[in-house]
Structure 1
């Protein structure tokens, strides 16, 4: 059972140029088995590479509507992608990658993202629309030897179309409901006998899917623009230079999470959502999230500008190729959010504008000699992030965040107006200005050898040594707008902080793979990998110390993750290569898993980082494709993933065990959901990891009918379906934040003529399934659960022309 295009392989910090994959009119799992990938830093047939990889070529991407990483999750069962806004983006594979919760700049993701051999350090900087893509490779499992420390869960590698010395071009226009309009265009050709150029651009606009009754505007819209240019200089057959540059701008009215439900907490009943809302005579505009309305009163903005340039030199020297990849990337993020998720002035401003610059340099040599294939190289990375965040409390914050003791809360207001919680002025205007800086330097040397012991048996050892140094600064300045000293109530909500964390360490990654050709088109392999994800520093504020007299400086850093990974697989083709069937079984243990926790303060918006004892993910993946005739192509993929905390004894508690006064000195906490004392931490050993379904699958196909309309043409009909079982949307699992399983279907039908133009109609989410992409809880343990409803049914048409 195979997603559109599949295979299996190993990886790197950057990838070499490959021969272009043969264009297909169906998902890239053609029975001929000649899909080419570059996951081992050389161009290879995917069925001959001994590790798990799924491949999508340009036609599969277009056919399935996978125009960004988020859409890939519907056809890649082992891939999970969550984004409440571009900065708070999480990409996981097999349940691992990055902890759930608001992003902390001080750690790195566990799924590497690469475009044309260049690493993108922030997942948010990879949320733009695909532009002029040749193929996408999703590499599953640790890839630390060649890709480096950022790939303990896997990697996503995207290869753009290269400049051509034969003139060519393509134009694509799509339109649909919700005001959806998308245009793409690219052109390529020679400037001289030795220089070729390729230029592409795309623009996407779509109305929002949620209506804000406060502003009378539709939000969660799309407004994307991207351009990319590439120059190829090829003076000889043995040397070439590729210079690329790109610019992407996104400026949508985004991003909101809206009322879903309320659940019980241990906060006093008069401090939970229903009573607090009644005190303000407040009602959400709807208690059904799929009415898709909100009343948020804060300014919304999710503007980001992404771009950079790279220079790749490739020179055939001796028995191999010497490659140099030099790159610079930038990411400017300008947000504004409504973090109380209501139309009340509780937290009126919450934003963390951020600017990132990164520089990378890789030098490697790949070749072969006799029975040995080899690759080795050096890698350097430098990253700088500057963030100037702010948080401002409004006139409703006192009632919402402070504890008034035993006063009655109702629609008439406080029984004792002199109580701080009943005085709007106590927190109104309380402001935190956060000045955050981060520098990250990484150096590495790596190498991998494939020894062809016989014509059928290969042994592949590899190793990578890596050095990391991270330094940061976090300064939070808090004022109350009156110029007076901060009161105890104000300090309990926003406290000044200043600290300068640092981290440095060496680590060694390695792997060993044995592969054996059982038959001509049957490959068996087994892999062991020892991998690391670099340690990090906390840059979202620290918890208070035990005496509540200052921050706990022992929590400034987190330890590296240590990964032990085992995998076996079988890759096969039969019936004259019309059937491809691949199977992989894996077991991954992660020690010192980096997780987001909290400090028990009900007013905290952002948690901090800590190490869980151990997590484990294990499972089985199956991929297949079948072409019973030249007119019909079918594919299917399935994954069973058992991902859980093996040991996490100091975890944040779920909502039903939070919000009360702390159970100090051995006091007994109240039962779950009953107001009273709350445990300081919870033992969630044995619980599911968030964001990953135990069962996930995708399937589909395309049927074509030859015709002579307008020349050599064909009518086609395609269907793609995907399923996910229930999964947790909270770091500590709670019934309030579980997301129910769902099935989605997409269809398309149209005509292709002379392989030069095509027109087709499409419907995505054809059954109009209501489901959530993510759920979260409101800070303060009020019991409010908010969510991000996924797109409803959308439909439209696309016209393409090639020349």
Structure 2
């Protein structure tokens, strides 16, 4: 049964997804593993987890109401914002393309050394979405979705095997209707075809395309202002004519050739072109501090705003991976060469805007006809990378992982009317991991991971670009698997430091310098227990201390915004019989600071419960989900903007195979 991803799962994917480690063994059912999966296979079991959509569906039946393409990448991984991801092993440059959820087969959660193989500068972890691929038989599925606010969706998934050499799969999706926010609507269409051609028994060619648009009411981003945060999550303080539109075109081409010795050669290309436009009235954070936005009478200051962004990404990856012996030591190896280019242009225009009452909004204000340009720039990077990851089997119980990423890049930045500034630099990111099978039930592991990431799109007061950000993680873990595999538990301790973080330049306060440092320490516990084959519990808990360890302005020890110290999630699933299944998911996040620097506004502790019921037959199924059943208020934060948790919402999805 084709399944989708629940809102609570995606808000907290880094931990929630890690509950399903057992899905690793079933990854082959989802289609051909990606290169990130192959690379992850060179790491220890507890650091590379593959979660199938069928497992993800256990926590709910629909994608988030805020669907925009890659919602799950807005999470924090071990204390740091996950602002980029991988697509079928391709590196993303931090500006996420609008990938359609309808095309995702599974999500890999990469931790430790495996997470740094393809860059991104996140030693703590990464997420890789895996596309649906053609299978070995024909398949046709249609699903219809409706939510209580009035949003509806139709999805079609068609796969055909033309002959012994050619197969294809097409996923398409259309959204339309109202979201839970007052006077907000969405209109979205995407189509994702994939063609697989076995040119010879050893040579396979795969071509894929992701294209479509998202048109939505542009909702001003909530910020850390106590008066604004006291409002219902449904409150809309923009204008009904506010509009935002994203158009995406992404193409992928991959050649896979199997050599006589069993090794594989892979050549992959990705090209993406995406545009984003919005216009309307938003909060005036350009001229007022956060605590000044709302006056004593409840009027929030607004500004006329128009944004326009264009991005293009090209990535080429050439890889060889396989198994060999080095001085009689078995080794799984991967060696790759990556060539990439990322270009981004952005323009921001603002003007006067009428205020609106936060308690009794009256709409009808128009945008100003006179806008002033506040930002007009183009920037990007070219990179050339050599990467390798190798796992040595030193003994039947011991494995050593050695990896390195060597990168040469050129960044550039050009402000309107100014001379283009560029910078060349080199990055070196080694990593090492060791696992030891203590006995058939216990595995111990240690790892040290280093990562580097260029900082593009900003320059110092002297006009120079910044040196790359560097990250280091040390991690130890212990994994237990019961003899009958009814219980699986993993305990992980980690320490992460990120250096060269941008902070305020005291000599030129309108600019930044790259001398900041951020740290994160924590412990994670993941557990999966099957009481019976029909009754299963997944649980996760973590303690994370993420804080400022060096800065020119911020106090050392200040907590990083949006990161809860305590996090807990539980999911209990029960198959009553082959037709009926029930599920309940609980999530708790402790109190967090809303911004950095801390302005005194906090995000309260939050807990929510999702309930779901599924009835299925051989041909059709229906899922009913009550999201946030207790209608609890809660917020997430990326360190500045704040997102309300979805209020209570009924969601119904019906599927039919034909």
Q: What is the TM-score of this pair, normalised by structure 2?
A: 0.84
Contact 1:537 1:556 in 2 (8 A): no
Paired with 1:555 and 1:68, the residues of 2 have a C-alpha distance of: 43
Contact 1:289 1:789 in 2 (8 A): no
Task: After superposition, give the CA deviation of every residue in 1:261-283 in whole Å (9 maximum; x if it has no partner).
Answer: 558xxxxxxxxxxxxxxxxxxxx
Alignment of 1:785-796 (within 5 A): 788-796=643-651
Contact 1:144 1:510 in 2 (8 A): no
Match of 2:255 in 1: 313
Paired with 2:191 and 2:535, the residues of 1 have a C-alpha distance of: 36
Secondary structure of 2:484 counterpart? coil
Structure 1 residue 597, shift from structure 2 partner: 8.4
Structure 1 residue 143, shift from structure 2 partner: 4.7
Match of 1:743 in 2: 607
Contact 2:113 2:431 in 1 (8 A): no
Alignment of 1:415-454 (within 5 A): 429=370, 431-432=372-373, 434-454=375-395
Query: Is 1:501–2:421 an aligned residue pair?
Result: yes
Contact 1:8 1:139 in 2 (8 A): no
Task: After superposition, give the CA deviation of every residue in 1:541-599 in whole Å (9 maximum; x if it has no partner).
Answer: xxxxxxxxxxx732642222222210011222104011111121101112212358899
Alignment of 1:449-528 (within 5 A): 449-475=390-416, 498=418, 500-528=420-448
Structure index of larger Rg: 1
Task: After superposition, give the CA deviation of every residue in 1:674-704 in whole Å (9 maximum; x if it has no partner).
Answer: xxxxxxxxx3211011121111121112111
* Aligned match for 1:235, one of 178, 199, 208: 199
Match of 2:5 in 1: none
Indicate how the Cα distance of structure 1 residues 313 and 295 shifts in structure 2: closer, same or farther if over 3 A, else same: closer
Paired with 2:205 and 2:394, the residues of 1 have a C-alpha distance of: 36
Paired with 1:627 and 1:598, the residues of 2 have a C-alpha distance of: 57
Match of 2:57 in 1: 62
Indicate how the Cα distance of structure 1 residues 58 and 309 shifts in structure 2: closer, same or farther if over 3 A, else same: same
**CA RMSD of superposed structures (Å):** 3.6
Match of 2:547 in 1: 644
Paired with 2:263 and 2:198, the residues of 1 have a C-alpha distance of: 18
* Aligned match for 1:758, one of 591, 615, 621: 621
Number of equivalenced pairs: 615
Task: After superposition, give the CA deviation of every residue in 1:413-472 in whole Å (9 maximum; x if it has no partner).
Answer: xxxxxxxxxxxxxx9946226431113101100112211111111111111110111111
Paired with 1:117 and 1:259, the residues of 2 have a C-alpha distance of: 34
Alignment of 1:102-117 (within 5 A): 109=83, 112-117=84-89
Paired with 1:776 and 1:151, the residues of 2 have a C-alpha distance of: 17
Secondary structure of 1:293 counterpart? coil
Structure 1 residue 502, shift from structure 2 partner: 2.3
Secondary structure of 2:386 counterpart? strand
Match of 2:467 in 1: 559
Indicate how the Cα distance of structure 1 residues 461 and 327 shifts in structure 2: closer, same or farther if over 3 A, else same: same
Alignment of 1:370-409 (within 5 A): 370=325, 371-394=330-353
Paired with 2:80 and 2:592, the residues of 1 have a C-alpha distance of: 14
Paired with 1:172 and 1:113, the residues of 2 have a C-alpha distance of: 27
**Structure whose residues are more often strand by fraction:** 2
Contact 1:152 1:533 in 2 (8 A): no
Query: Is 1:797–2:628 an aligned residue pair?
Result: no
Query: Is 1:41–2:7 an aligned residue pair?
Result: no
Match of 1:96 in 2: 80
Structure 1 residue 716, shift from structure 2 partner: 1.3
Match of 1:327 in 2: 270
Query: Is 1:580–2:444 an aligned residue pair?
Result: no
Structure 1 residue 340, shift from structure 2 partner: 2.6
Query: Is 1:594–2:502 an aligned residue pair?
Result: yes
Secondary structure of 1:209 counterpart? coil
Match of 2:597 in 1: 732
Indicate how the Cα distance of structure 1 residues 36 and 362 shifts in structure 2: closer, same or farther if over 3 A, else same: closer
Match of 1:169 in 2: 140
* Aligned match for 2:190, one of 226, 232, 235: 226
Paired with 1:4 and 1:144, the residues of 2 have a C-alpha distance of: 15
Structure 1 residue 321, shift from structure 2 partner: 0.7
Paired with 2:493 and 2:157, the residues of 1 have a C-alpha distance of: 41
Structure 1 residue 164, shift from structure 2 partner: 2.0
Task: After superposition, give the CA deviation of every residue in 1:714-748 in whole Å (9 maximum; x if it has no partner).
Answer: 21111111111111221212322x10110011111
Indicate how the Cα distance of structure 1 residues 775 and 62 shifts in structure 2: closer, same or farther if over 3 A, else same: closer
Contact 1:503 1:537 in 2 (8 A): no
Structure 1 residue 5, shift from structure 2 partner: 5.4
Match of 2:93 in 1: 121
Secondary structure of 2:579 counterpart? strand
Paired with 1:395 and 1:249, the residues of 2 have a C-alpha distance of: 30
Match of 1:669 in 2: none
Paired with 1:691 and 1:223, the residues of 2 have a C-alpha distance of: 30
Query: Is 1:52–2:7 an aligned residue pair?
Result: no
Contact 1:37 1:137 in 2 (8 A): no
Match of 2:364 in 1: none
Paired with 1:629 and 1:296, the residues of 2 have a C-alpha distance of: 51
Paired with 1:229 and 1:176, the residues of 2 have a C-alpha distance of: 27
Moved more, 170-179 or 356-365: 170-179
Secondary structure of 1:224 counterpart? strand
Structure 1 residue 123, shift from structure 2 partner: 3.9
Match of 1:722 in 2: 587
Structure 1 residue 753, shift from structure 2 partner: 1.7
Indicate how the Cα distance of structure 1 residues 42 and 320 shifts in structure 2: closer, same or farther if over 3 A, else same: farther
Paired with 1:291 and 1:459, the residues of 2 have a C-alpha distance of: 50
Paired with 2:230 and 2:77, the residues of 1 have a C-alpha distance of: 31
Paired with 1:366 and 1:471, the residues of 2 have a C-alpha distance of: 33
Secondary structure of 2:631 counterpart? coil
Moved more, 147-156 or 181-190: 147-156
Structure 1 residue 44, shift from structure 2 partner: 4.4
Structure 1 residue 253, shift from structure 2 partner: 0.7
Q: What stretches of structure 2 of length at least 5 have no aligned partner?
A: 1-13, 285-293, 356-367
Paired with 1:236 and 1:19, the residues of 2 have a C-alpha distance of: 27
Q: What is the TM-score of this pair, normalised by structure 1?
A: 0.70
Structure 1 residue 142, shift from structure 2 partner: 6.0
Match of 1:533 in 2: 453
